Structure 1
């Protein structure tokens, strides 16, 4: 069978199998809409909090007003009863609390350092961070106002008082994740893994089915491709690689733009990365899939490998903190260089020179996994 006929036959086999269509063609579309959905709001806002004001002074009430004005906080309870606020935090009614101690105003007027204690629900990292930063901003605003009034009382002009109270003007301008949103952080990093895993699992589904057909005495597609083994194998590989390429370009070119995630893509680099990643992922899937003799086995085993693959990629967890054997073996997975290169090229606008290591790793995986898959193909599917 010629290369083109092998490729077309593979496509027909994919389209004739509802499960394969769902995984290879439909899963990425479904993931592209449902996976970003929980992160649609990007940043955490209006977190319910309580304030325990044991001072009940104009300054403590000013601090509460600053907290109420913060877009990060929603002050739901204000009182003097600390146990009641702690119970509300424990029950989840509020997600954080601030304790303004007695003597707050008097200590500030004497120039003493005052501590406002803040507690958050650390079971939710982003919410806890929002609580802490919201109260910290409110306290910082109050502190700056006190400093300005103190300098002004010593004869300084308002501008001089402002300059003395804020000697360093801090302006934060995020360069890439401009909203500092969680969705803009996590979805672009996970997208290459989604492309890889849907492709690999879908391929294992088909290869497992063909193994079952062979045991039943039928002649599945790989056996028919053995009439011209090399053109047949490369046609099979190319068909799956084309699916991976379409899914990669769908995420890199459409989903990131549609979902509003930050992009600074360089077209040539993006196309080269998508092609190499599709070739490496399909070779990886073609090699692994030939070890499964049952249709469902690949899904059962590979589905649970997605989270470990993500964590060893160096994206959510620093690669330097991984045990050395894992830090080395992770380079056998296309998702490792694929995720790093995708973030660099699609989000940061990196040129080829910045992702040379990752592209060479994908090329090496294409050759290595492709050679292993070809060897298995010749041995496993030879006519009986």
Structure 2
């Protein structure tokens, strides 16, 4: 245990003397998380909209005044001939064309249509904004007609209760999801880079002549780099997520970081395994790209696992990130306790143990080759 402790202290001093790694840690757990929460790409924010009002009636005026910040810019009234030039130059994302006689047709019980032109090259705003525009227009038309027809009220009303995020603020989920992703990324990078740094600096040979075993060397790297990531994640949670972004946390942070520690046991072992496959830091970087993309995209953080093909969802059960995302979302978003997330804890322990044994075997082989 003393060998493991001293080797871990050596790793911490080596990391402290590596300014680029320190900058990466600070950036990842501060700027990256803040940016992910405050610049969610699918969020509709100040979308450019114009309105062609050929009806010029109280109803059309009501529709025009319904579009306001922060979802939309103040609508600009344009003529019919300005639609194509405005869309071609990218000046407007949405153009609503209100035809003449709209109010008269609706009051007479005749069918009427409103044209919505969308710049689909702006995919994120086009996707979410179209639904916003449709809901706003339907609501304003229904409210207008309610003053003239009593039967417009539907016999069934839909009462929506948004749990865990009443304001539907995507920044809440963006910050926590990015924190979970960065914990995985940094733990793999730091442990793998620590091993490759030993090889590049020639200090592996020094370790081989010391009375330490490969298992002690590996465990020292795991606990030291895992401790760094755990500490950085805790500070990020307190000062960035809860402080700067004001994201409320529903569950126990103690339980979440206990799950984080188990997850780090698995991902740091994975980082060592990848480092034994790579011969240099650039090769290690390429392996991280090939590893992190599926771990990030298919673990359930970006897309719900229910929306994936069943084969992919089943395969990703072997990845530690799948269970870490599940327990993280359950604890942080829904306030779940250990009685709910214990299957994820157990899965992480099993996966981490398997990854540790595989990495230890590979690490021993790599040391024999170095000797």
Q: State the TM-score, normalized to the length of structure 2.
A: 0.86
Quick check: 1:208–1:297 contact (8 Å CA) kept in 2?
no
The aligned counterpart of 2:10 is: 9
How far apart are residue 222 of structure 1 and its match?
4.9
Partner of residue 216 from structure 2, selected from 220, 228, 231 = 231
Match of 2:114 in 1: 116
- C-alpha displacement of 1:368: 0.8
Aligned Cα root-mean-square deviation (Å): 2.9
* Alpha carbons 1:98, 1:135 under 8 Å: kept: no
Shift in Å at residue 125 of structure 1?
Answer: 4.5
Indicate the residue corresponding to 1:54 in structure 2: 54
Structure 1, unmatched stretches of 5+, are 152-160
Partner of 1:157: none
Alignment partner of 2:263: what SS? helix
In the alignment, what sits opposite 1:156?
A: none
Cα 1:178/1:28, change in 2 over 3 Å: same
Quote how far apart the aligned CAs of 1:367 are.
0.2
Deviation at 1:363, TM superposition (A): 0.8
The aligned runs of 1:201-212 (5 Å cut-off) are 201-212=189-200
SS at match of 1:97: strand
Asked whether 1:196 is paired with 2:184, we answer yes
Shift of 1:39: 4.2
TM-score with structure 1 length normalisation?
0.83
User: Helix, strand or coil: the match of 1:111?
Assistant: coil
Residue 21 of structure 1, CA deviation: 3.1
Q: 1:338 aligns with which of 324, 333, 343?
A: 324
Counterpart of 1:347?
333
Structure 1 residue 118 displacement after superposition: 1.9
Change (3 A) 1:13 1:71: closer
Matched, 1:165 2:153: yes
**Secondary structure at the residue paired with 1:315?**
coil
Selected match of 1:278 from 264, 277, 283: 264
Note closer, same or farther for the CA distance 1:350–1:342 as it changes in structure 2 (3 Å cut).
same
- Give the match's secondary structure for 2:48: strand
What is the rounded CA distance, in whole Å, between the counterparts of 2:246 and 2:35 in structure 1?
Answer: 15
1:184 aligns with 2:157: no
- Secondary structure of 1:44 counterpart: coil
Q: 1:274 to 1:367 in 2, by over 3 A?
A: same
Q: Structure 1 residues 307, 79: CA separation in 2 closer, same or farther (over 3 Å shift)? A: same
- Report deviation, 1:349: 0.7
Q: Which residue number corresponds to residue 90 of structure 1?
A: 88
Structure showing greater radius of gyration is: 1
Conserved 8 A contact 1:95-1:120: yes
Contact 2:11/2:221 (CA < 8 Å) preserved in 1?
Answer: yes
**By how many angstroms is 1:194 displaced?**
1.0
Distance 1:339 1:224 in 2: 41
Shift of 1:225: 5.9
Q: What number of residue pairs does the alignment pair up?
A: 367
How far apart are the structure 2 equivalents of 1:250 and 1:181? 23
Q: What does residue 146 of structure 2 align with?
A: 147
Structure 2 residues without counterparts, runs of 5 or longer: none
What does 1:234-273 align with in structure 2 at a 5 Å threshold?
234-258=219-243, 259-273=245-259
1:316 corresponds, among 299, 302, 306, to 302
Secondary structure of the residue aligned to 1:119 is strand
Please identify, of 243-252 and 94-103, the stretch whose mean Cα deviation from structure 2 is larger: 243-252
- Indicate whether 1:327 and 2:313 are aligned: yes
Distance, in Å, in 1 between the alignment partners of 2:106 and 2:279 is 74
- Which residue pairs with 2:72 in the alignment? 73
1:133 counterpart residue number: 132
Distance 2:305 2:257 in 1: 26
> 1:360: Cα distance to partner?
1.9
Partner of 1:361, secondary structure, is helix
The worse-fitting range, judged by mean Cα deviation, of 332-341 and 72-81 is 72-81
Structure 2 distance, partners of 1:210, 1:366, is 24
Give yes or no for contact 2:250–2:335 (8 Å, CA) kept in 1. yes
**Distance in 1 between residues matched to 2:301 and 2:30, nearest whole Å:** 23
From 323, 327, 344, the equivalent of 1:358 is 344
